[in-house]
Amino acid sequence: MFQEIIKEIPDDIFKFFLVTIFSLLIGLEQRQLHSNKEFESIFGTDRTFTLIGILGFILYRINPQDLIPFLVGIIVISLFLGLFYFAKMREQKFYGMTSLVTALITYCLAPLIYTQSVWLVLLIIVSVLILTEMKKSLFEFTQKFDNNEFITLSIFIVIAGVILPLLPTAPISATINISPYKFWLAIVAVSGISYCSYLLKKFVFPKSGIILTGILGGLYSSTVTSIILAKKSKETPNDKRVSVAIILATTMMYLRIFLLALFFNPTLAFELAPTFGVLIIISALIAVYLYKYKYYATPIETQVQANIYSNPLEFKTSLLFGSLFILFALITTYVNQTFGSSGINVLSFVVGVTDIDPFIINLLQSKLNISDSFLVMAIVNATTSNNFLKMIYGISLCDKSIRKDIILGFGILIVSSLLISFVFI
């Protein structure tokens, strides 16, 4: 019965109701926004904005075909708002235009409701309400930007949205079965994960402790994070949180590689998921053990801050990654053609002493005549040798008080990885 009553209501009445309600909401928000500003005059709030919305509805419905009354109305309102703005600048030295622009958006609600989808209209209303309320929050947010922040963002947009679509998809040669597009896509994928980690650390968790630094740093580079944290441990001897953070950085390494696999080769990613799932659980349990039974045994108050980030889109870093990517493409193709799968297995252990991402992305993108299970084993082996390298770095650079914890944590991970690789895969 209720639906039948709704159907009997004329469409114009329903849309008029929406325009009125949305205009009133915007006006109420303006009243609340200016409620504590005793000396700042505004041209109107709830009633004014509601009437502006209704005026837009009337002038739109008079002639919705050529929109002449509606366009004349917006010109007149714009003139009145302009006069108010210049008078306000002259008398109060205040230059804000947020309320004026919001009024013009309110005037345009009628054609939006008549011509656009409901979800788009609601999205516009919500965006207006949120943005007008976020003045202080946006100001505080911009204070965190340094001089190069927008340059970094612009570079990422260029490499991901401009250069990448323009590159050819044909392989470089018969020897290197990698196209310029896939080569650059690898750089974009790794840079994107690193850049997201950088943004989280800088803007979402700017005062993160040592453990959260390890987690976010692991998305950037677990090796770099482990080295920097190990060095930092000498500044706060006996702080067991450093060893926890190093292990958690390795936990995030598995997640980062899985995300890359999901991006480049979803089929292989699902083959990799159970193995990496086990290794993530094992590394997380090691971190929990070290935190619960080691850290609480010798708690300290010192807060460790470690800056693990350089510019994640630095040209030298990208150039090094690209060089390694091409090098491993050549080596992987040669080893596979000469020694077969056994050669790839040995190579996977060797690459652990370098950045393993270029090698792993090559495995994910290349069309080697190797089964998925063997590729999974090669990826696991690469992470195993990389963990061994991080353990060597850790015990060489860290304070002696946490060396046993690092050896214990990485030792368990290395043994577990070898067992999974050679027994279960």
Residue 302 scores a pLDDT above 50: no
Residue type, 413: L
Torsion of CA 24, 29, 31, 34, to 10 degrees: -160
The structural domains of the chain, with segments of one domain joined by +, span: 6-141, 152-424
Choose among 145, 308, 287: nearest CA to 220.
Answer: 308
Count the Cβ atoms, other than its own, within 10 Å of residue 61. Answer: 16
Question: What does the alpha-carbon distance between residue 355 and residue 336 come to, in Å, rounded to a whole number?
Answer: 20
Higher pLDDT, 224 or 111: 111
Q: If DSSP codes are grouped into helix, strand and coil, which group holds residue 148?
A: coil
**Of residues 146 and 109, which shows the higher confidence score?**
109
| Cα 163 to Cα 155: distance, rounded to the nearest angstrom | 10
Q: What gap in Å lies between CA 75 and CA 419, rounded to an integer?
A: 75
121 compared with 354, residue with greater pLDDT: 121
Name which of 58-62, 96-100, 134-138, 313-317 the model is least confident about.
313-317
Q: Name residue, tokens 């896939």.
A: 182
Q: Are 33 and 137 in contact (CB under 8 A)?
A: no
| Least confident among 189-198, 303-312, 401-410 | 303-312
131 has a pLDDT exceeding 70: yes
Q: If pLDDT is split at 50, 70 and 90, which confidence band does 39 have? A: very low
- Quote the pTM value: 0.71
Please spell the DSSP secondary structure of 59-103, one letter per residue.
HHHH-TTT-HHHHHHHHHHHHHHHHHHHHHHHHH-----HHHHHH
249 or 94: which carries more pLDDT confidence? Answer: 249
Q: What is the 3-state secondary structure (H, E, C) of 221-250?
A: HHHHHHHHHHHHHHHCCCCCHHHHHHHHHH
Tokens describing residue 268? 């292989």
- What's the whole-number mean pLDDT along residues 409-416? 94
- Assess contact for 53 and 22: CB atoms under 8 A: yes
CA distance 382 to 279: 14
Place of tokens 């993530």: 280
**pLDDT value at residue 384:** 93
What pLDDT, on the 0 to 100 scale, is given for residue 4?
Answer: 64
Residue identified by tokens 């979800």 is 119
- Give dist(CA 249, CA 219) in Å, integer: 7
C-alpha triplet 230, 231, 236: angle, nearest 5° = 90
**Do residues 57 and 45 make contact, with C-beta atoms less than 8 angstroms apart?**
no
pLDDT tens for each residue of 327-382: 888 888 888 778 887 888 888 888 877 778 888 988 888 777 778 888 899 999 99
pLDDT (average), residues 150-155: 82
Percent of the chain with pLDDT over 90: 27
Please provide the average confidence, as pLDDT, over all residues in the chain: 82
- pLDDT exceeds 90 at position 252: yes
Categorize the per-residue pLDDT at 33 as very low, low, confident or very high, splitting at 50, 70 and 90. Answer: confident
- Asked whether residue 91 carries a pLDDT value surpassing 60, the answer given is yes
Closest CA to 376 of 246, 278, 301, 298: 278
- pLDDT at residue number 305: 53
**pLDDT over 60 (residue 61):** yes
- 211-247 confidence digits (pLDDT tens): 888 888 888 888 888 888 888 788 776 667 888 999 9
**What's residue 301's pLDDT?**
43
Given a contact cutoff of 8 angstroms between Cβ atoms, the answer to whether 205 and 212 are in contact is: yes
Token readout for 263 is 């991006």
Length of the chain: 425
